[in-house]
Amino acid sequence: QLNEAAQMQKEVLEKRRRTYGEDHLYTISALSNLANMYGDLGQVDEAVNMKTEVLEKMKSILGEEHPDTLLAMNNLAVTLGDLGRLDEVITLLNVTVPIMVRIYGEDHPRMKVAIGNLARLIEIRGAFKIMADRAELEFNTKSDDVELKKLKLTSVNAVIIVLGPTG
Protein backbone atom coordinates (compact mmCIF):
# COMPACT_ATOMS: atom_id res chain seq x y z
CA GLN A 1 0.00 0.00 0.00
CA LEU A 2 2.88 2.34 0.71
CA ASN A 3 4.27 1.77 -2.78
CA GLU A 4 0.88 2.67 -4.21
CA ALA A 5 0.73 5.78 -2.03
CA ALA A 6 4.21 6.79 -3.18
CA GLN A 7 3.15 6.39 -6.80
CA MET A 8 0.12 8.59 -6.17
CA GLN A 9 2.33 11.17 -4.45
CA LYS A 10 4.65 11.12 -7.48
CA GLU A 11 1.67 11.95 -9.67
CA VAL A 12 0.69 14.78 -7.32
CA LEU A 13 4.23 16.15 -7.55
CA GLU A 14 4.22 16.04 -11.36
CA LYS A 15 0.83 17.78 -11.53
CA ARG A 16 1.99 20.49 -9.16
CA ARG A 17 5.16 21.00 -11.18
CA ARG A 18 3.08 21.49 -14.32
CA THR A 19 0.51 23.69 -12.61
CA TYR A 20 2.60 25.81 -10.25
CA GLY A 21 6.21 25.37 -11.36
CA GLU A 22 9.27 23.97 -9.59
CA ASP A 23 9.63 26.63 -6.91
CA HIS A 24 6.04 27.01 -5.68
CA LEU A 25 5.43 26.03 -2.07
CA TYR A 26 2.71 23.54 -3.12
CA THR A 27 5.24 21.78 -5.35
CA ILE A 28 7.90 21.81 -2.66
CA SER A 29 5.40 20.40 -0.16
CA ALA A 30 4.58 17.55 -2.55
CA LEU A 31 8.31 16.87 -2.99
CA SER A 32 8.75 16.79 0.79
CA ASN A 33 5.85 14.35 1.17
CA LEU A 34 7.32 12.09 -1.51
CA ALA A 35 10.73 12.24 0.16
CA ASN A 36 9.18 11.14 3.46
CA MET A 37 7.47 8.23 1.71
CA TYR A 38 10.73 7.19 0.05
CA GLY A 39 12.34 7.18 3.47
CA ASP A 40 9.53 4.97 4.80
CA LEU A 41 10.05 2.63 1.85
CA GLY A 42 13.75 2.31 2.67
CA GLN A 43 14.88 4.37 -0.32
CA VAL A 44 16.84 6.56 2.06
CA ASP A 45 19.48 7.85 -0.35
CA GLU A 46 16.78 9.14 -2.69
CA ALA A 47 14.94 10.61 0.30
CA VAL A 48 18.11 12.49 1.33
CA ASN A 49 18.50 13.91 -2.18
CA MET A 50 14.88 15.08 -2.24
CA LYS A 51 15.00 16.49 1.29
CA THR A 52 18.19 18.36 0.44
CA GLU A 53 16.43 19.86 -2.57
CA VAL A 54 13.44 20.79 -0.39
CA LEU A 55 15.71 22.48 2.15
CA GLU A 56 17.58 24.48 -0.49
CA LYS A 57 14.32 25.67 -2.06
CA MET A 58 12.84 26.57 1.33
CA LYS A 59 15.95 28.59 2.26
CA SER A 60 15.80 30.38 -1.09
CA ILE A 61 12.09 31.18 -0.94
CA LEU A 62 11.31 31.58 2.77
CA GLY A 63 14.72 32.24 4.30
CA GLU A 64 16.74 30.18 6.73
CA GLU A 65 14.78 31.29 9.81
CA HIS A 66 11.27 30.44 8.63
CA PRO A 67 9.56 27.67 10.65
CA ASP A 68 8.94 25.63 7.49
CA THR A 69 12.63 25.85 6.58
CA LEU A 70 13.55 24.72 10.08
CA LEU A 71 11.16 21.79 9.68
CA ALA A 72 12.87 20.90 6.39
CA MET A 73 16.25 21.01 8.18
CA ASN A 74 14.90 18.71 10.86
CA ASN A 75 13.46 16.28 8.30
CA LEU A 76 16.80 16.10 6.51
CA ALA A 77 18.64 15.62 9.81
CA VAL A 78 16.39 12.68 10.75
CA THR A 79 17.00 10.96 7.42
CA LEU A 80 20.75 11.57 7.58
CA GLY A 81 20.63 10.05 11.05
CA ASP A 82 18.90 6.97 9.61
CA LEU A 83 21.92 6.58 7.35
CA GLY A 84 24.31 6.92 10.28
CA ARG A 85 25.72 10.18 8.95
CA LEU A 86 25.94 11.63 12.45
CA ASP A 87 28.57 14.28 11.71
CA GLU A 88 26.30 15.79 9.04
CA VAL A 89 23.33 15.65 11.41
CA ILE A 90 25.27 17.39 14.16
CA THR A 91 26.50 20.05 11.71
CA LEU A 92 22.92 20.66 10.54
CA LEU A 93 21.55 20.80 14.09
CA ASN A 94 24.35 23.16 15.13
CA VAL A 95 22.94 25.57 12.54
CA THR A 96 19.29 24.87 13.31
CA VAL A 97 19.30 25.01 17.11
CA PRO A 98 20.65 28.59 17.49
CA ILE A 99 18.09 29.81 14.94
CA MET A 100 15.34 28.02 16.84
CA VAL A 101 16.51 29.63 20.10
CA ARG A 102 16.17 33.08 18.49
CA ILE A 103 12.75 32.31 17.02
CA TYR A 104 11.09 30.23 19.72
CA GLY A 105 13.05 31.04 22.87
CA GLU A 106 14.85 28.56 25.07
CA ASP A 107 11.76 27.34 26.92
CA HIS A 108 9.69 26.39 23.88
CA PRO A 109 8.89 22.64 23.67
CA ARG A 110 10.43 22.44 20.19
CA MET A 111 13.68 23.73 21.67
CA LYS A 112 13.80 21.08 24.34
CA VAL A 113 13.36 18.37 21.73
CA ALA A 114 15.96 19.88 19.38
CA ILE A 115 18.56 20.39 22.10
CA GLY A 116 17.87 16.90 23.45
CA ASN A 117 18.34 15.40 19.98
CA LEU A 118 21.59 17.27 19.45
CA ALA A 119 22.95 16.23 22.86
CA ARG A 120 21.96 12.61 22.24
CA LEU A 121 23.68 12.56 18.85
CA ILE A 122 26.86 14.07 20.25
CA GLU A 123 26.79 11.43 22.99
CA ILE A 124 26.21 8.63 20.44
CA ARG A 125 29.04 9.90 18.24
CA GLY A 126 31.34 9.93 21.27
CA ALA A 127 30.31 6.40 22.22
CA PHE A 128 30.91 5.19 18.66
CA LYS A 129 34.36 6.80 18.69
CA ILE A 130 35.19 4.98 21.92
CA MET A 131 33.93 1.70 20.42
CA ALA A 132 36.01 2.22 17.30
CA ASP A 133 39.14 3.05 19.29
CA ARG A 134 38.67 -0.03 21.49
CA ALA A 135 38.05 -2.26 18.48
CA GLU A 136 41.18 -0.94 16.79
CA LEU A 137 43.24 -1.51 19.94
CA GLU A 138 41.85 -5.04 20.30
CA PHE A 139 42.47 -5.84 16.67
CA ASN A 140 46.05 -4.61 16.82
CA THR A 141 46.86 -6.62 19.97
CA LYS A 142 49.18 -9.50 19.04
CA SER A 143 47.88 -13.04 19.40
CA ASP A 144 48.53 -16.39 17.78
CA ASP A 145 45.03 -17.65 18.62
CA VAL A 146 43.18 -18.06 15.28
CA GLU A 147 39.73 -18.06 16.93
CA LEU A 148 40.57 -14.86 18.80
CA LYS A 149 41.67 -13.24 15.53
CA LYS A 150 38.35 -14.23 13.91
CA LEU A 151 36.44 -12.81 16.87
CA LYS A 152 38.42 -9.55 16.68
CA LEU A 153 37.74 -9.26 12.96
CA THR A 154 34.03 -9.84 13.58
CA SER A 155 34.06 -7.11 16.26
CA VAL A 156 35.80 -4.64 13.97
CA ASN A 157 33.33 -5.42 11.18
CA ALA A 158 30.43 -4.83 13.59
CA VAL A 159 31.85 -1.43 14.52
CA ILE A 160 32.25 -0.54 10.83
CA ILE A 161 28.63 -1.53 10.17
CA VAL A 162 27.39 0.56 13.11
CA LEU A 163 29.53 3.58 12.28
CA GLY A 164 28.88 3.47 8.57
CA PRO A 165 31.18 5.13 6.07
CA THR A 166 31.58 8.38 8.04
CA GLY A 167 33.09 6.79 11.15
CATH number at residue 88: 1.25.40.10
Is 158 a member of any domain?
no
Residue 129 has a pLDDT of 60
The span from the CA of 58 to the CA of 78, in Å, is 17
Is 69 a member of any domain?
yes
- Domain limits at 71? 2-128
- Report how many domains make up the chain: 1
Is 76 a member of any domain?
yes
Listed in sequence order, the residues at least 6 apart from 29 whose beta carbon sits closer than 8 Å to its beta carbon are none
Is 156 a member of any domain?
no
Is 138 a member of any domain?
no
Is 149 a member of any domain?
no
Is 110 a member of any domain?
yes
Residue 165 has a pLDDT of 46
Model confidence pTM above 0.95: no
Residue 82 has a pLDDT of 80
Residue 131 has a pLDDT of 54
Residue 166 has a pLDDT of 45
pLDDT less than 70: residues of the chain: 122, 124-167
Is 103 a member of any domain?
yes
Please provide the distance, in angstroms rounded to a whole number, between the alpha carbons at the two ends of the chain. 36
